[in-house]
Amino acid sequence: MLDTNREIQELVVDYAGALRDGCIPAFLKSLTREEAKRIASSRQFQDAAEISRILNSVGFADKALIPNVSLFISRVNAEISSRLKKARASSRSRRGTGARPITKTEKRTEKPI
């Protein structure tokens, strides 16, 4: 069972572990109201949390990946061109769907066989 009366030092350790493991939401859900109030008002916790963030980013900097957005951009460009093609096709089909009526001047130019 979880200890519901954790001291600031224990909360910092738990926060650092959650930060390292990538489960901050689980850490936040584990807090009681009293712990949350203590964290919010404790300058000691805020300073220690900032140090934990810095150490975590330095410790895992070599494993961090910079996201490659070229695939995303190419998919967006493909979607845009697809929509443009569909818009052109639908505008052509709207104009050419009905049969063109023959006007009186066209009837006169036709020669009987």
Domain assignment present for 32: yes
The number of domains in the chain is: 1
Task: Give the percent of the chain with pLDDT over 70.
Answer: 71
| Residue 1 pLDDT | 42
Domain assignment present for 105: no
Q: What are phi and psi of 4, to 5 degrees?
A: -90, -5
Domain assignment present for 41: yes
Domain assignment present for 15: yes
Distance in angstroms (rounded) separating the CA atoms of residues 63 and 86: 43
Domain assignment present for 90: no
The answer to whether the beta carbons of residues 11 and 3 sit under 8 Å apart is no
Task: Kindly report, residue by residue over 59-101, the tens digit of the pLDDT.
Answer: 776 666 666 778 888 888 889 988 888 888 777 665 555 555 5
pLDDT exceeds 80 at position 102: no
- Which helix (H) or strand (E) segment is 106 a member of? helix 104-109
Nearest to 27 by CA among 59, 60, 2, 51: 2
Domain assignment present for 72: no
Domain that holds residue 50: 8-63
Cα end-to-end distance, the chain, whole Å: 101
Average pLDDT, the chain: 79
Domain assignment present for 37: yes
| DSSP structure class, residue 85 | H
Q: How many degrees, rounded to 5, is the angle at CA 27 between CA 22 and CA 29? A: 130
Domain assignment present for 44: yes
Two tokens, residue 16: 């650092």
Nearest to 29 by CA among 56, 57, 2, 9: 2
